[in-house]
Structure 1
């Protein structure tokens, strides 16, 4: 398979005591009591959704993002379990127990799955069997990208490294200096045509996957402020792609869209959020750190609608599901809102332990993983 065929659409480490924002839970004000979550309105279930299956992954605290390819789904638990599922039936294709904590979620091209351990080791798995391991020079929070028979890794130090998926041979490394702080949250690493796209500080950058040379850059947000925390503008996972248009969020700074053909920034808008975006050909969807849900016009970035019904509920990044946009929350609910106006269409319950990461759509199945390690699959009717 050619590289182009494979490339389809498809820390904060602070010495001082600071407030750490993660994907699922926003920090309260410094020294103050955490705000109470907004009570939920009655659920009138305006669209039908049925639970299709459940599966068990294992308890997980870290937000390790899954990989999706058609109806296939790969999940990783923070204690070292990697699970490949058929998203239609919920049946396990294989399970691997690496017996070591993981720092990043899973990437897969359908043959090779790859994860990163907290000991900075890249691990490749095929059919449930470890095929090779490679040491990394930096910590990793972003799931590896597996494409074109290569495995690409984005380090917390913003380095990019390519490995041969067959044997783990290191092919190239591209380093980039940056600010002293980085975000312990999954960043942007994806493929668009024959270009490797990565988030580096507040920029989307396109690279030649053969040798790591830079092709283009599009700026979403620029570091500013008087200290390292205020200057943190990393791009976070959760990219909305329509053709060659990529729309992303810069952590607590902005949202914006880039033309990946030329690397041209189409528009940016200030936005105070920590979780990624989803969208369709007309709108983008995301949340602020307070829990406000927002929609923007995709073409211009102008506001389309907003909803305050989920304030302080620890919302995840969204996923588009049919005519709805779905968000998980810190108490384990998945909320389905109308893409048109943000009205509530349905609410799905899990096990009450909270979602460990944003829900995903695999084929026609909406999938969510809880902190207790339960995997829920629903199918809209």
Structure 2
């Protein structure tokens, strides 16, 4: 996920002083370039960031099948944050380019199941759960639609814009807002069950990670660099664990944000942060098992043994889940503006801004395959189901890829 400035006044002052975001510092430049955009621009041939790394040679060879290519939306919307699609069983839900249309398509054949028109622009991604499709607006409204036909079930006003995908489980919708609140609402009618609040730093990333849920907990990373777990049904705090501490003398140097999408594997949640660390945290207690340096602004991925992350310099790392030891690192794709990683069987796949999908061996990180199903950029986190990786391009096409050997 790119660097997005929540403190608009500070950003405006900096822009006025130096003309472009690229003068603000390496972290800002890197983050903006990850999405291939200026602050409010759309990715075009004229503003596409320079690729600073040539395609590396492969040290192996695998065959990758392109199982399907289907247009499921009219393009990735402008601006930040980029709206994540939602995958639920055999259906994918996406926003249209205008941010005012929501589409549902069958994964199997790409058939459109329904299309819903919305009056307000949707700011965050799409969430699913409890038979609902959930989206949030800039004016703080949470809208719940029926997953079966896209008809509106309910909508409720909250105190601030919704920048991350909501989620729902066991009768509770969990949604985060840009002012540092996390809410638990009734899936039936949107009635508020609980809320918690954390301070928002002066400067933070625009957007956020989607809340995670277990049968008993809701887990969310806040802009202050803390990962917090609360009881799913009551909102009572279970633990509050800092996963990064601000460092440096300037506001940019000290900017942190637990914006890297965490992942739950077994009894632990693995989380990361911008200008911070990758950490293993016990779900039951919030105790940090290990922490390793990793400046992350995309999603983590995991298999039974390792946790995988792409840092803000496009270095891919595999960490042992038990000890945090760096199992391998791969930096041959630095400068290619990679997506988050996806674990596909014995391989880890990442896509880049030129439409390439790169395949690495999960056991040692060697580059063994490369596919280019499109020349459009891949910006969003891939999805994996039944050994198939799904990548949504900036042009609105969904590609289903599977390693054949």
TM-based fold match above 0.5: yes
CA deviations on 1:169-196 (whole Å, 9 max, x unpaired) are: 2332222224223321332411123111
Provide the residue aligned with 2:89 in structure 1.
70
Deviation at 1:104, TM superposition (A): 0.7
Deviation at 1:144, TM superposition (A): 0.4
Tell me, yes or no, if the aligned pair for 1:324 and 1:345 is still in contact at 8 Å. no
Deviation at 1:199, TM superposition (A): 0.9
Q: Which runs of structure 2 are paired with 1:244-259 in the superposition (5 Å)?
A: 244-259=267-282
Runs ≥4 residues deviating over 6 A:
none
What TM-score comes out, normalization by structure 1 length? 0.87
Instruction: Give the alignment partner of residue 12 of structure 1, picking from 6, 17, 37.
Output: 6
Distance 1:344 1:268, change over 3 A: same
Distance 1:273 1:176, change over 3 A: closer
Provide the residue aligned with 1:274 in structure 2.
297
Tell me, yes or no, if the aligned pair for 2:66 and 2:399 is still in contact at 8 Å. no
Task: Name the CA distance, whole Å, in 2 between partners of 1:40 and 1:166.
Answer: 50
Q: Which runs of structure 2 are paired with 1:1-381 in the superposition (5 Å)?
A: 11-14=5-8, 15-16=10-11, 17=14, 18=24, 19=28, 21=31, 24-25=34-35, 36-41=51-56, 45-60=61-76, 61=78, 62-80=81-99, 81-109=101-129, 111-126=131-146, 127-200=149-222, 201-381=224-404
Task: Name the CA distance, whole Å, in 2 between partners of 1:214 and 1:100.
Answer: 33
The structure richer in helix per residue is 2
Q: Which runs of 5+ in 2 are unaligned?
A: 15-23, 39-48
Tell me, yes or no, if the aligned pair for 2:126 and 2:135 is still in contact at 8 Å. yes
Q: Which has the higher contact order (CA 8 A, sep 6+)?
A: 1
Q: Note the aligned Cα RMSD (angstroms).
A: 2.5
What TM-score comes out, normalization by structure 2 length? 0.83
Q: Which runs of 5+ in 1 are unaligned?
A: 1-10, 29-33
**Alignment size in residue pairs:** 366
Distance 1:350 1:133, change over 3 A: farther
CA deviations on 1:174-227 (whole Å, 9 max, x unpaired) are: 222242233213324111231111112222211012222211123311233334
Distance 1:263 1:315, change over 3 A: same
Tell me, yes or no, if the aligned pair for 1:188 and 1:238 is still in contact at 8 Å. yes
Tell me, yes or no, if the aligned pair for 1:245 and 1:260 is still in contact at 8 Å. yes
Task: Name the CA distance, whole Å, in 1 between partners of 2:69 and 2:36.
Answer: 30
